[in-house]
Amino acid sequence: MSYMIPAWELATKAKEQYRRSSAEILISRALFLRYALDRNELYVHEILPSDLGLERWQTPKQGAQTTVTWVDCNLTNKVIGIIKVVQLTENPAVTKISLIRGGALASYHQLTSLYGLVPLLKKLKETDLELLQLQYGIENLSLEGWFSEPWILEGKVQIDVTSDYQSTDGDKLVLVGFKVEPVIIQKEEQNEQY
């Protein structure tokens, strides 16, 4: 099962290598599923909220100690891989994100390991953050967690979020990853003029 690695524990080079290897995993999966015959017939790009049936990266409003479905969609002729989550909410309520496959829990990540930074980030000024990053070699102090293994999404997709606290507006939670789908070649009809 995948586990979460805080961004400040990963070097930039490791992140880039992980991004490339995750994209390769998705390409291999798309070829295995016969979405294309050759990797050159596949298009790889970063996911958008609309790729998962969302209008924006915002979790639903929810009460304390509740779990709700956030993403519920069907993926056709595409494979999506989630490699990290970024929490942009100042006072986050979501504490866990879960991937559901076939009605059963496939994987989950506790986001609380990232939240120890919340009080620190609120108190530090931008110059203090830069000094801290230079002094200790920390490259990224943010509420960003990388998955040790990408979540591979295909077919029916369900992602649930659990909140330990009351959420009046939902959290601004960004899922970062890639979508691999066949390249669509559009043929333009040419009108011959006589």
What is the pLDDT, as a whole number, of residue 123?
59
Grade residue 194 by pLDDT with cuts at 50, 70 and 90: very low
Name residues whose C-beta falls within 8 Å of residue 106's C-beta, 6 or more positions apart in sequence: 99, 100, 151
Both tokens of 78, joined, read 């595409």
92 or 38, which is more confident: 38
Which pLDDT tens digit goes with each residue over 104-133? 999 999 888 777 665 565 556 555 656 655
**Mean pLDDT taken over the chain:** 83
Q: Are strands 94-101 and 4-6 parallel, antiparallel or unpaired?
A: unpaired
* Domains of the chain, earliest start first: 4-182 (2.60.120)
User: In this structure, what is the dihedral angle of CA atoms 142, 45, 37, 190, given to the nearest 10 degrees?
Assistant: 180
Mean pLDDT score, 124-147: 63
- Hey, which bits of 26-143 come out as E strands? 42-46, 66-87, 94-101, 104-110
Distance CA 81, CA 131 (A): 34
CB atoms within 10 A of CB 31: 17
Share of the chain above pLDDT 70, in %: 80
Distance CA 170, CA 159 (A): 15
Mean pLDDT score, 177-185: 87
Which pLDDT tens digit goes with each residue over 8-29? 788 889 999 999 999 999 999 9
Both tokens of 56, joined, read 């924006």
Grade residue 45 by pLDDT with cuts at 50, 70 and 90: very high
pTM higher than the cut 0.85: no
192 or 93, which is more confident: 93
Q: What is the rounded radius of gyration, in angstroms, for the C-alpha atoms of the chain? A: 19
What is the pLDDT, as a whole number, of residue 125?
57
Name residues whose C-beta falls within 8 Å of residue 2's C-beta, 6 or more positions apart in sequence: 107, 109, 147, 148, 149, 150, 151
Burial of 54 (0-12, 13-18, 19+ CB in 10 A): middle
59 or 7, which is more confident: 59
Grade residue 165 by pLDDT with cuts at 50, 70 and 90: confident
Burial of 56 (0-12, 13-18, 19+ CB in 10 A): exposed
What is the pLDDT, as a whole number, of residue 49?
95
What is the pLDDT, as a whole number, of residue 72?
94
Question: Is residue 169 scored above 90 in pLDDT?
Answer: no
What is the pLDDT, as a whole number, of residue 149?
93
